[in-house]
Amino acid sequence: MRAAHAAAALGALGAAALAAAATIDGFEVSKNKGIYFFEANVHLAATRESIYTVITDFDDNAYSRISRSYKESRYLEPAADGTPMVYTRMEGCMGRRCVSFERTERLETDAPRWIKSTALPEASDFKHATSEFVLEPDGDGTKMLYKLEVEPDFFVPPLIGPWYMKRSVSKGALRAVTRIEGLARELDGRPPLEPAPPSPSTQGQ
């Protein structure tokens, strides 16, 4: 995979990590032995019950409402032990060049406080991938801690390090940050908030 393709793939995945952040209080990216670590602390002006509902809605490509990078999302047949299984396919693009990558994941939950997904390497484009949401009430809104760990199953050039990824993800997340909040507020019966202005650097997220 060329450097541009690898950057697009990881950038799309990281930007989706920020798609649930109406106010980003902290965002860090690091890398250790080929594994990228994303962590975001955010505040959303919606209840955690509704945020939980939005984040766990994979049916009928529902995740495309969160980020345009998601091209497919759906529930699969549960695992043998009854654990829910989900499938997502994303695309990351730089110019006219796009790359698609897939994840099949086990979905563990403790509603409405905690959500964790773990990718199956044999059915994903990642050797290792986990994501975790922790949702806590904060006044009339919600504090959310988001953690994402990914080890791509494709070559990522050394130049695509934490600084590059943080810069790339920040650019792509500007419009996406309000989408889960907006969907959750709709479930809460609250009026929509002022949308983020469009920007050329946020198109396609």
| Per-position pLDDT tens, the chain of length 205 | 455 555 555 556 655 555 444 677 888 888 898 898 988 888 999 999 999 999 999 999 999 998 888 999 999 999 999 999 999 999 877 667 778 889 999 999 999 999 999 999 999 999 999 999 999 999 999 999 989 898 988 777 666 666 666 666 655 554 566 788 999 999 999 998 765 444 344 444 5
Domains of the chain: 3-77+100-202 (3.30.530.20)
pTM of the prediction? 0.81
CA distance 72 to 122: 19
The answer to whether residues 62 and 73 touch, using CB atoms and an 8 Å cutoff, is: yes
Give dist(CA 96, CA 128) in Å, integer: 28
E strand spans, 67-176? 70-76, 85-94, 97-110, 114-119, 126-138, 141-152
